[in-house]
Amino acid sequence: MNLRLLAVAAATSLALAACSSSSDPAEKPAPGASKGTAKPLVEVSPLTGKAMKKGRPDNPVFVVKIENTDGGAPQYGLDHADMVIEELVEGGLTRLAAFYYSSLPSKVGHVRSLRTSDIGIAGPVGGQIVASGGASGAYRKVEKAGIRVFSEDGGAPGFSSDPLKVRPYNRLIDLKTVNRKAKRTRIPGPYLPWAPASGAKAAAPKAGAATTPAPKKATAATVRFSDFTTTSWALKGGKWVRTNGHAEAGKDFKADTMIVLSCRVGDAGYTDPAGNPVPETVFEGRGEARVFHGDEVTSVTWVKSGLKKGLRFETADGKPYRINPGHVFLELVPKDGGGVTLG
């Protein structure tokens, strides 16, 4: 997994490079060099960009589909997620895809069905989807894409009923139980282009150079998915949190960075039991994005070269833009009919 980070200061590396006046690969190492002088390699999480001091967990990345309406409230386990994505589903509603890697809670939910949009969502980190079920056409597409699915309909272990809810809003999952049947798989790379863990900022651009417009200031935001669904956000204690979310009291996901991506939405090719066309968020290509970090909002372009490829970002002049390590919430907003308002 291409996720290793040398725990050696950059200044030290530069100093060592400056001591050499030759690029001859056969050149002998400088006197005094010996084995064991470098610090050990430390892996960074593909979902948070933070160091995993104990190494990789003995589990794959699980992507749990979670109900995101009043009917499925309260949502359990979001405070243990590494990353969360909100996606459009039928009827103008949304659903969450919560990523679990560093921690496997014994109670996550309420679990709902998968969508074909989940290929582009889970693919970048080889995520294994946990869902209550799904339409047969959606299942075939997801499995054809090489993504493992643990579903209650398919006999996966770990599902239970919430006695305070009714179907289909009462399904809970124990990820520790699921993991007994899962296999740790290769993670292609990081989900996001992480900035150095030190949080160092890029040098200021030269006068007159084309660059991304200066960040705007905001401490609140409203993300619109449809006429029926908006997600409200507020900056509290340095974290971006939902103010109209459905999580268990005091246990919602707290985002160090919240990113709104404008995405094309197509037709998944089937309808739900009520006859509503099922949308498919096309999570590849490129589009506009706004990155919320602290009280700054930066406008950039998101780029994703394939459904299973990770995200990258570009400034107005085409230079790479990186995300500060931490917990990230991604809002996949429809290009047509969606949007974000700053407050």
Alpha helix segments (H runs only) across 236-306 = none
Only one residue has tokens 């900022």, namely: 201
For residue 129, the SS3 value is strand
- Strands 320-321 and 230-236, sheet pairing: unpaired
Question: For residue 73, how many other CB atoms are within 10 A of its CB?
Answer: 15
pTM beyond 0.95: the answer is no
Identify the residue whose tokens are 């037709």.
267
Fill in the DSSP letter of residue 80: G
Name the residue among 171, 130, 132, 164 with its Cα closest to residue 147. Answer: 130
Coil vs helix vs strand at 251: coil
Q: Residue 322: what pLDDT?
A: 96
Q: Residue 113 corresponds to which amino acid?
A: S
The Cα-based distances of 103 to 21, 110, 175, 276 in angstroms read 47, 18, 9, 36
Q: Tell me: cis bond preceding 327? Omega within 30 of 0 counts.
A: no
- Residue written as token pair 């890697």: 101
Instruction: Provide the terminal-to-terminal Cα distance of the chain, rounded to the nearest Å.
Output: 40
- What is the spatial distance between Cα 27 and Cα 227, in angstroms, rounded to a whole number? 67
d(CA 150, CA 148) in angstroms, rounded, equals 7
Instruction: Write out the chain's pLDDT in tens, 343 residues.
Output: 444 433 333 333 333 333 333 333 333 443 343 444 455 566 899 999 999 988 899 999 999 999 999 999 999 999 999 999 999 999 999 999 999 999 999 999 999 999 999 999 999 999 999 999 998 889 899 999 999 999 999 999 999 999 999 999 999 999 999 999 999 888 989 999 999 865 434 333 333 334 556 899 999 999 999 999 999 999 999 999 999 999 999 999 999 999 999 999 999 888 877 788 889 999 999 999 999 999 999 999 999 999 999 999 999 999 999 999 999 999 999 999 999 999 9
Helix (H) / strand (E) containing 289: strand 285-293
> Would you call 44 helix, strand, or coil by DSSP?
strand
What per-residue confidence (pLDDT) applies to 184?
Answer: 87
